[in-house]
């Protein structure tokens, strides 16, 4: 077959897919160019531009459609609000402390898988580690959740267990909204993360982001790093090598912690116990995308301020405006949804 004929065959295959994407992108850009800000702090267009930069190709396709379907500027603002309230705030909401035997087991499994080492620093836990109770404040290692949504994962799989705090319909609805947004904008295909696995995975369907073992949603690290990771103060970005990630720290990360980061900033995950799978590259990519979005849009700083206002309001009357009170209340409701453990 001649090279020219090969090119024509390839073009005939890709054009039906590319033309709608190009048309949607142009329509989206026209709509955003015509957007009129309502106030000086209106960052609707900037937020959507940042979101577009960090979501995977399938997410961009959904974003194109959602922006184009917006009838006017108010619809665009509501789209941004849905993403902020439906995804970003739950990711950073205060978490209730909840101790379960299953969490202890998951943490121990992950510690075994990661060789009793911090995945970030590669520092081995001292021998006296195993003599401590799993909740001891002296425990050097902790299993950080990559995405703090195990309860949503249980709902998706139809195995939601009774929790100490009952889930009313409103809470189930909120969990469902988080899942819907993640599925719509953050569906990754493995080949897009690791090019060296392209030939093996190219024929596989895009996986459901919640079809993972709980251990795949955990990353063992020093306890001091866990808070920073779960607050999205640093992320692990995929490289072209499977299970090798680039450590990207943001301005919120205390500078002294950088001493413990590998000099080349490459975190290499190794499996020391084949019974348990390594952290999912898809979940780590979702964490990285959300971290970048929170940082570049300044939403992380805004939500942190709301958390501080919420904490103060619990110890006395809140002296804030009505709109601020609504924001604080929304965060207070979300804090009931996401369990927290010390493991």
In a domain, 327, yes or no: no
**Is the pLDDT reported for residue 203 higher than 50?**
no
Closest alpha carbon to 232 in 212, 251, 218:
251
In a domain, 72, yes or no: yes
Distance from C-alpha of 109 to C-alpha of 220, rounded to nearest angstrom: 10
Q: Identify the domain containing residue 61 by its residue range.
A: 12-92
Largest CA distance in the chain: 78
Q: How many CB atoms lie within 10 A of CB 268?
A: 13
* Tens-digit pLDDT profile for residues 127-147: 545 444 444 444 478 899 998
Q: Is residue 288 within 8 Å of 246, Cβ to Cβ?
A: no
In a domain, 86, yes or no: yes
* Tens-digit pLDDT profile for residues 162-195: 344 444 555 555 666 787 888 899 887 654 454 4
Report the predicted TM-score, pTM, of the whole model to 2 decimal places. 0.75
Counted domains in the chain: 1
In a domain, 73, yes or no: yes
- The crossing angle, in degrees rounded to 10, of helices 3-33 and 57-69 is 40
Lowest mean pLDDT segment, chosen from 11-20, 89-98, 157-166, 299-308: 157-166
In a domain, 114, yes or no: no
Length of the chain: 343
Residue 264: pLDDT band with limits 50, 70, 90? very high
> For residues 190 and 259, which has the higher predicted lDDT (pLDDT)?
259
Q: Where are the alpha helices (DSSP H) in 34-94?
A: 44-54, 57-69, 73-83, 89-92
pLDDT at 8: 55
Q: Is residue 15 within 8 Å of 30, Cβ to Cβ?
A: no
In a domain, 78, yes or no: yes
Q: How many CB atoms lie within 10 A of CB 335?
A: 17
The neighbouring-strand residues paired with 220 are 143
In a domain, 221, yes or no: no
């Amino acid at each position: 077959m001649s090279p020219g004929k090969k090119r024509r065959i390839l073009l005939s295959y890709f054009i039906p897919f590319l033309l709608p994407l190009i048309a949607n992108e142009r329509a989206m850009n026209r709509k955003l160019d015509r957007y009129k800000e309502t106030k000086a702090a209106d960052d609707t267009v900037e937020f959507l531009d940042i979101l577009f930069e960090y979501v995977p190709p399938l997410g961009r396709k959904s974003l194109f459609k959602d922006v184009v379907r917006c009838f006017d500027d108010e619809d665009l603002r509501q789209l941004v609000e849905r993403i902020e309230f439906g995804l970003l705030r739950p990711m950073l909401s205060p978490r209730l402390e909840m101790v379960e035997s299953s969490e202890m087991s998951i943490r121990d499994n992950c510690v075994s898988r990661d060789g009793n080492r911090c995945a970030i620093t590669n520092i081995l836990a001292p021998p006296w580690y195993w003599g401590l109770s799993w909740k001891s404040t002296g425990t050097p290692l902790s299993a950080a959740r990559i995405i703090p949504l195990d309860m949503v994962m249980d709902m998706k799989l139809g195995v939601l267990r009774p929790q100490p705090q009952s889930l009313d319909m409103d809470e189930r609805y909120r969990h469902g909204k988080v899942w819907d947004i993640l599925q719509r904008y953050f569906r990754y295909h493995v080949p897009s993360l690791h090019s060296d696995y392209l030939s093996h995975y190219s024929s596989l369907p895009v996986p459901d982001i919640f079809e993972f073992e709980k251990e795949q949603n955990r990353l063992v690290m020093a306890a001091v790093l866990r808070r920073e990771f779960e607050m999205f103060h640093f992320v692990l970005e995929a490289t072209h090598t499977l299970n090798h990630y680039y450590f990207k720290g943001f301005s919120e990360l205390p500078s002294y912690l950088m001493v413990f980061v590998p000099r080349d900033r490459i975190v290499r995950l190794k499996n020391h116990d084949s019974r348990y799978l390594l952290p999912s590259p898809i979940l780590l990519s979702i964490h990285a995308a959300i971290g970048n979005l929170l940082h570049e849009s300044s939403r992380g700083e805004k939500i942190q301020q709301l958390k501080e206002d919420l904490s103060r309001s619990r110890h006395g009357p809140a002296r804030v405006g009505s709109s601020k009170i609504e924001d604080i209340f929304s965060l207070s409701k979300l804090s009931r949804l996401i369990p927290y453990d010390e493991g």
